[in-house]
Amino acid sequence: MKLAVALTMTAITAFAQGPLIEGKKDSPVRVVIWEDLQCPDCADFRKMLDEKLLPKYGAKVAFEHRDFPLAKHSWARRAAVAARYIQGISEEAGITFRRETMAAIREIKAGTFEGWLKKFCESHGLDPGKAAAALSDERLNALVQKDFEEGTARGIARTPTALVNGEPFIETFTLEEISKGIESALKENGIE
């Protein structure tokens, strides 16, 4: 009985989730990031986020992740679904999965993604069997599809696209460009 309750609670957590947010979750300044976990430009932005943006703005700004797996990337959708599953277990693990997946995009191939997912789970104390089963879960796939459709409706076509309080920064933008947008949004909201 305890196992059934635990599995049910894990399922509820995994499927009742909203977007993954780093930084100050309740900030009026939001950077909504439409990303593809197989995208080299997204991996570059992830590095910028970790090394520059979060240290400087994490206490003031919400960085919200949205899935936008491009059709041209063979394992991006599976990675997004896995990220949703892992995020449902732990937001910290979800962030770590996104970070490590993007750091390894040159090593991961369509035929090796599940093996890579298994290794990730084993090294982070997660059940690799449950993670593999989650890849075909219709509810998790629907969450990814919902993000994709919302992005498409907003005119998103390339990744990464970061919307700083609605102002778009698309694909290859500099630290200076997005920082200027964030600074402007902070000023507009009276945040120093």
pLDDT in tens, 113-161: 999 999 999 999 999 999 999 999 999 999 999 999 999 999 999 999 9
Share of the chain above pLDDT 90, in %: 90
Which ranges in 26-90 belong to alpha helices (H)? 40-48, 54-57, 76-89
pLDDT in tens, 52-111: 999 999 999 999 999 999 999 999 999 999 999 999 999 999 999 999 999 999 999 999
Q: Which helix (H) or strand (E) holds 4?
A: helix 2-15
Q: Is the confidence at residue 32, as pLDDT, over 80? A: yes
Q: Which residues contact 78 (CB under 8 A, 6 or more apart)?
A: 113, 114, 135
Ordered DSSP codes for 129-166: HHHHHHTT-HHHHHHHHHHHHHHHHTT--SS-EEEETT
8: helix, strand or coil: helix
**Which residues constitute the domain of residue 113?**
2-188
Q: Name 113's bridge partners.
A: none
Provide the CATH number for the domain around residue 36. 3.40.30.10
Q: How far is CA 116 from the centre of its chain?
A: 18
Closest among 86, 9, 3, 101 to 46, alpha carbons compared: 101
Q: Report the number of distinct structural domains present in the chain.
A: 1
Residue appearing with tokens 């305890």: 2
Question: Would you state the pLDDT for residue 18?
Answer: 83
